[in-house]
Amino acid sequence: MDLQLKDKSVIVTGGAKGIGLAITKAFLEEGARVCMVGTDEKTLQEVRAQVGQPDRCIGIRCDVTKAAQIRDCIRTVEQTFGGVDILVNNAGVLKPARIEDLTEEQWDHDMAVNLKSTFLCTKGVIEPMKRRGGGVIINASSFAAQIPSVGQSVYAAAKSGVKSFTRVSAAELAPYNIRTFAYIPGVIKTQLVAPLIEDPQNAERMKNDIAAHRFGEPSEVASVVVFLASERAGYVSGTSIEVAGGKFCVQNPGKIYE
Note whether residue 252 is domain-resident. Answer: no
Separation of alpha carbons 204 and 182, rounded Å:
28
Cβ neighbours of 195 (radius 10 Å): 9
* b/e map 71-87, b = 16+ CB within 10 Å: eebbeebbeebebbbbb
Name the least confident of 6-20, 146-160, 194-208: 194-208
Give yes or no for a contact between 245 and 216, defined as CB atoms under 8 angstroms apart: yes
Check residue 192 and give its pLDDT.
79
Separation of alpha carbons 14 and 92, rounded Å:
7
- Cα 33 off chain centre by: 17
| Catalytic (active site) residue 257 | no
Q: Is 230 left (phi over 0), alpha (psi -120 to 50) or beta?
A: beta
Note whether residue 78 is domain-resident. Answer: yes
Note whether residue 164 is domain-resident. Answer: yes
Q: What is the CATH number for 227?
A: 3.40.50.720
H or E element that contains 13 = strand 9-13
Note whether residue 208 is domain-resident. Answer: no
The pTM assigned to this predicted structure is 0.96
Check residue 219 and give its pLDDT.
97
The residue from 155, 176, 235, 257 that is catalytic is 155
Note whether residue 201 is domain-resident. Answer: no
Give yes or no for a contact between 207 and 217, defined as CB atoms under 8 angstroms apart: no
- Helix residue spans in 140-243 (DSSP H): 153-173, 194-197, 200-207, 218-229
Round to the nearest angstrom and report the end-to-end CA distance of the chain.
39
Note whether residue 133 is domain-resident. Answer: yes
Domain range enclosing 144: 9-188+216-245
Note whether residue 197 is domain-resident. Answer: no
Structural domain total, the chain: 1
pLDDT in tens, 134-192: 999 999 999 999 999 999 999 999 999 999 999 999 999 999 999 999 999 999 999 87
Note whether residue 202 is domain-resident. Answer: no
